[in-house]
Amino acid sequence: MTPIVSIFRNPPDGGRGFHRDMRVRWALEEVGQPYEMRLLTFSEMRRPEYRELHPFGQVPTYEDGDLVLFESGAIVHHIAHKFPGLLPLDPNARSRAIMWMFAALNTIEPCISSDGAGYLPVRLRELSSKLGNADWLEGEFSAADLLMVSVLRALRGTEFLENNPNLKNYVARGEGRPAFRRALTTSAPVIRSA
């Protein structure tokens, strides 16, 4: 069965790929897994039948047979475990990549979303120091990089990335991946809303 990913019918960002469904589509493109898209309006996301899939009435959801998931990090984690190509084979490297997936969503993204305490510059310096001159966080590109780049994209054109050139280049490398480009301009089949 072909997985179904729910996305905005008319994305508020104008289709620039800044919504969390992009993470899921990018992961599916990286592993070469065909998928279908369910385009939803905000009113359709509030309907009871959609709330059965996503209790918070947001996007994305991921439907694959009788499995329904929400939360982009959980979906990317599932895809990375189900299909080869997004997690290292070495058990320790695999665990570190998963650790960085959590760091992207639990340490970096909250600082970007609401930086009331001013932690963002500190966290970015720490991330920049860890990345150093490496292309990716754990050797080869992985789900860790997919999520971290997705999170950092929100800072494009800001002093935060300008002050951390290796992170700016890191984001550019991620956005330059063919799978990212395909996800951004995808022509995946569209199905009717839930």
Residue 184, helix vs strand vs coil: helix
pLDDT of 10: 76
Q: Given a cut of 60, is residue 165 above it in pLDDT?
A: yes
Q: How many Å is the maximal CA-CA distance in the chain? A: 49
Percentage of the chain exceeding pLDDT 70: 93
**Token duo for residue 17:** 């790929």
pTM of the model: 0.93
**Token duo for residue 100:** 């960085």
Q: Please state, rounded to an integer, the average pLDDT across all residues of the chain.
A: 92
Question: Within a 10 A sphere around the Cβ of 22, how many other Cβ atoms?
Answer: 25
Report which DSSP code applies to 163. Answer: T
At position 136, the amino acid (one-letter code) is W
